[in-house]
A and B are shown apart, each in its own frame.
Chain A
C-alpha cells in the first residue's frame, strides 16, 4: 500500500485489475486503491506473472503492506511494493522502508542494481540511470533519496555535499510529476472569456454593509457559487475521469486551490457548493483555508473535489489557464478584477472585468459545451442576488 501523503497510514484496495496467473509488464495498472487523495491506480515496475494476491479487494491495510507477489520470469518472487501513484503527492517516507513489508520490496534480479520500485519510478522521472547511483539502502540498495541526490548532483556540481530535498522541494517535485503526467495523458483544450463584474461587485459591497464583519463575503465566494451552479448545466465537466471515459458526479465539490504559507499548494474540496448559501460557502471557505494552512484537513476534503477552481488575481495575474488535476476532467481559472474600457449600448465606459478560463479534457467534453459553461458563469454573475 503506497504512502501518498505525509500523514497517510492506510488505504483501501478497491479493485484488482489483474488476477493470479496474469502476466504483467512494467507500467501495467494492477489495482485501484482508495486513499485520502482519491482512487489511485497502482502500477507495477517489473514484468512477470502474478503468483499470489495477498490483500483481497475491499480490504483496508496499513501503508507499506505488500499487496501481491509477482514471479519474475527468471528469478525469485518479487513483492509488489507500494509504488508512487499516478497522482503523486508529498510522501513522508520512502516505500522501500515500509513496515511490515519484507526486504523483498527491493528488486533481486541478478546483474541489475538493487532498487525499489519507488526509487526506480523516481529515477525514470528524473532521468537518472540507476546503475550510476551509489545505493545507501539495505545491502547497498538504491533508495529514492539516492536517486534524488544523484539528480541534484548532475544538475549542479555541489561545492559541498548535496542535502536531501526538503519537504517543500519534494512537494514541488511530486506536484510537478503529477502535472507532467496530466499534460502528457489528458488532451487539454482551453477557453477564456471576459466577464463584466460591475453588478457582482456593486451587489457585494452593498451586501457586506448589511453583514457583521464576521459574515462578510469575499468575491471568490460569488465565483465559486457561479461555477457550481454552471456545472449543473454542463455536468460532464464535473466528473471523475477513468482514462477516456468519465463518470459524472452527482455532487459538486469544488476543489479550492489554496497556497500554503511558506510554499506549496493544496486543493481541498468545498462540498456541495451548488447547494450552499453564499454565507455558508464563505464560512466553509474560511475554515478550509485556516485548516489548510495550519494543518487539519480531512481526507474527504483531499479526495472529494470534482473540479478545481484556481485564482491568481491577488498576485496580479489577469489570466490563468490551469492544468487538470486527475481524476478531475476540468479546472476553472479566475484572474484579477481590473477596470477596463467596456462597450455598453454603443458607448465606451469603464467597467470592472475579470478573465474566466476553462481547461478541460477533450475526451470528455467539447469546446461547445465548455463555451456553454463559461457563458453560464457569466450569466449567473450578472444576477449576484440570485446566487
Chain B
C-alpha cells in the first residue's frame, strides 16, 4: 500500500449548538486541511487521551434489566456535519454594505424607507460604515435621546462567548447611557409561562422540575405521551441526538409510547407506539374529555386532589357542564379535536391504568398557539389527577438540560459543576432589565401602532420567560414617560419576520419612515437583512477564537478552547468586533474593550468557569478542554416533584398557597374581567383576540388548520440555504421552475379534494397574506390539518402580501396569546389552500420571479448587491 493520504493538518474544537447565550452544546472536532474545513466529527470526552477516563466519573442508570450509559462522544445531528457550508455560503455578507438610496440624517426625503427590501446595496469601507453608524447614534442621542435606539438581540444563533453573538451592542449602548431593549417573549414556552406557572409555579419557565427524572422514568414509568413532542427533530440544534438515544432506551425498557399530534412526526416514524392524531390547537378539548372520563369512571386520585390542590371544584364543575351547560364528553370533544370519542375514552383509561409521563421538546403542539395557557394548564391538571409527583409520573423535558445553568432543569445525572462563560461573555445579560423595553411580540405595534404619549402602548409583564407568575400582574408601557419612541434599530437577530407573530406587519414597520436607520450585523444576507440600511459582515464561529462551555449535551459538562478553524471570509468580523469598531468612532473603545486581548479574555473565561480549581490554566490550554465529573451523590437527589407528592405541607410549590392552584386566586384578583384567561383552565376555541378555530366564521374561507413546527432541517431561520439538506425530500420540494419550495404536508384525501398532487406548488393563504409551498402529499398528517415548518427564508413577491420562500410567520396571527398575555401565536391558525396558478403569479410579480436563485441553495444575495468597487 502506498503512503497514507493526509486527512488533516489540525483539529480544532467547536461547539455548534444553537442555544446561544453562553449555553453550549453539540461539541465537535473539526478537521482542517490546507486552510479549509474538511470534516466535522463528534467530540470525544477523552479527546487526545488527556485525562483518565474514570476522572469524569462515568454515569449509568441500571433499571429493569437494562443499563443506560453516558456516551463517550457527543451524538451529532446533520446540522453540525453540514455547518461548514454556512461558513462557505454564497449568501455571506462579504463586506460592509449600504442601501443605495438611504442617506443618514433622518431626512424623510432621503431615507426612502419605502424602498427597504427593494433597492440594492453597495459596498462601503469599514471606516465609512462605522463613521455613519457612530454619527447616527450621536444624532439619535441629541435629537431624541438614546431610548430612540432599539436593540434587537435575542433568538437562537451560534453559541459564542467573547463574540456574543446576540447583544454585544447592548454593552456599548449601556456604556453610552441608555437604549430600548426588545425583550424576547417566552417563545418556546408560551403556554407554560402564561398558563402553567399560575397552577404550579415551576421556576424558571413553567415546566416541571426535572431533577433525576431520567432515572425516575427508567425505573418506574410505564407509558410515555409524546404530546406534540418530537425529540427526533426538535432537539437537534440544542443537544444533537442525545434525546434520540434516550428515547431508544425507553423503548428498550418496554415503556409504551403514545404520539398525540396532528402529524406522524419523526419520533413516531422511528419508535414504536400508538398515533392519536389531534387537530392543531384543539388539545384542550381532548384534555377536558379525558378529565370527564376519569371523573365519571372514578379513574383519578381524588385524595391527592384534596390534599395537593385548590380549586378543583371549579374545573370539575366546568367539565360536568355546571358553568356553561356544556358537558365535556368525549363526543363533544370529537367534534372539536377530530379524535373519535371511543379513542378518547380508551386513551383516558389507558393513561389511568399506567404510570404515565408526558414528554416535551418545546415548540410544536399547542405551546405556541392562540390561548396556549389553556392546554398547558390542563396538562398540569390532568397530571395532578393521576397523582403528579408519584414515581415515574409527571412531565419530562427531553433536552436543554441545565437551561439557564440551573440544576432544576436537568433531568440527567447531576454534574459536579455547571460551568459558565461569564468571565469573557459579551452577549446580552438576560438578567438586566432596562428602563425602556418592548416585548418582541409588540414591536410592529410599537412602531406603527395607534398610541400617543397620553395613551401609550400598554401590556402586562416584563415578558421574559424566567420571571415568577406575579410578574404577569405588573403593567408596563411604551414609551416610558419622558422617553423617546424608537427611530433606529440595531439588530444582530435579523429574523423577526420569519420567526415571530404576524411578520407581514413587521415588514410594514421595517419599511416605515418612523424608523430612520436600520443597522443589521449578520453573517448572511437573509430575512430582515433585506430591510437594513447598513449591513455589517459577521464571522461564523469557524473564523473566531473563543472560550466555550457545553452544558446541554446530556452526558458530561465541559469547557473548551475554540481555536480558529479558518481565516475570516471576506471582510467579516465577529459581532463583538463589529461593536468595538463602532466604539472606536464614538471614542469609547478603551472603556468597552477594557484593553483586554483574546488571550486575556480566554484566561478570564477559564478563571470564572467554576472549573479553575479542577484544572490549571496550563493544562486547560494544553489539552484544550476539561470534562467535569458527574457528582458522586447524584442518585440521592429526590426526583421531579416526589417531595411534593410525598408531603405537600413540608415541600410546598412556589405558588401563593403552596399547592397546585387549579383555580388561581391571583388571576381572579388581578384580572377579574379577563374572558380569555379565566382563573381555571378550560377549552378555549375563539375569543376576542383570536378566531382561529374551525368553528370561526373565518373557517369558511380558510378551512385548514396550519401547524408550523420547529423545523426538522433548520433551527428556526438558521441553515435554510444548506444545499445538502435541500436535497432531502422532507426538506424542500423543487418546483418545475427548479426553485426549492418549503414543503406543505397535506393529507392524501384532502389533496384529492383540492386537486393537488404531490410536488405541486400551492398557495397557503388567509387575510394576512399568502406564502407558497411545495405539496408533500402524505399519510403522515391528519385530514383538516396542514403542516409547513417555520423559518424558511423570506423571499417576498410583494411586501406584506405574498412570499415565495414559504416564510409562513408572515401570515401568523398578529395578536398576542390573549388579552393579558403578550406571547406569540405562531401555530394552529386558519389557512386556505389551493394549487398555485404560477402563470398568473408570474404575470403579477414579474420582477420577483426574475430574481436569481441557485437551484442548490435557493434565493441568493447577488440580486440585491451592486457588484463593483467601493463607492
Chain A bound to chain B = no
Interface residues of B (CB under 8 A from A): none
Interface residues of A (CB under 8 A from B): none
